[in-house]
Every structure is written in C-alpha cells, then in structure tokens.
Amino acid sequence: MQKSTVRALNKSESIKAEKALFKAIVSLKTPEECSAFFKDLCTPAELTAMADRWRVAQLLAEGKKSYRDIHDETGVSLATIGRVARFLTHESYQGYRAILERTKNLPLHRH
C-alpha cells in the first residue's frame, strides 16, 4: 500500500487559491447560500470559531462591555477577545471595521 504524502501549496499557489476562495465567497447571494457554503467548507469547530470572533467584534464595536463581560456572555477566551480587539484597532486590514460599518444598522443576533 502506497503512503500518501501531504504537499502544501507553495506561496504563489496559496495566494491564487485564496483569491479563488474570496471570489467564491463574494458570489454568494443570500445568508442561506453562505450558510450552506461555509458548512461544506469548514468543520463545525472552524465555523464556531469564526462566528465567535464575529460576535466578539460586534460587542467590542458597541463599546459597552469589558473583555470580562464579553467572555462571560460568549465563553470566548480573553486571548481571542484581545486578538479581535487588536485587529479592530491596530491592524491595517480593516476587514472587521468595513463589515461592521456596512452592517451597523442590522440587529445583533442574541442567543
């Protein structure tokens, strides 16, 4: 029986694959399509981690709760909350900020 070898994409292939993924995501038209795509693409744990980070970003952007309060409400670790906060305030990507601005009039979905 032949052993399979794992081959990671080289940097150029990885960048192309990432761009193709983002193009696929942009093509999604409804929350239901997004849900189906991400449930196919991600493990339940990966999807939960992304949803948790998004929830934390929303709560941090509201500016009404401490890290401890957010941790108590969501169960997300203080380290993850701090990481999300850093990306909200210090990192140059501004991905969270762009989407928070675009969705600011949508209600937060409470559990």
Residue type, 100: L
With a CB cutoff of 8 Å and minimum separation 6, the contacts of 74 are: 52, 55, 56, 59
Q: Crossing angle for the helix pair 78-89 and 67-74, nearest 10 degrees?
A: 120
Residues 62-99: tens digit of each pLDDT: 999 999 999 999 999 999 999 999 999 888 888 999 99
Indicate the pTM of the whole model: 0.80
Please, are residues 99 and 58 in contact by the beta-carbon 8 Å criterion? no
The pLDDT score that the predictor gives to residue 4 is 57
Residue found by looking up tokens 């941090």 in the block: 60
Residue-wise pLDDT tens digits, 26-65: 999 999 999 999 999 999 999 999 999 999 999 999 999 9
Write the CA distances from 48 to 62, 85, 92, 111, integer angstroms. Answer: 21, 18, 25, 13
Question: Could you state, in order of their start, the residue ranges of all structural domains in the chain?
Answer: 12-41, 44-111
User: What single-letter amino acid sits at 84?
Assistant: V
Going through the chain in order, the beta strands assigned E by DSSP cover: none
Summarize the confidence of residues 8-30 as an average pLDDT: 94
CA neighbours closer than 13 Å in the CB half-sphere of residue 3: 3
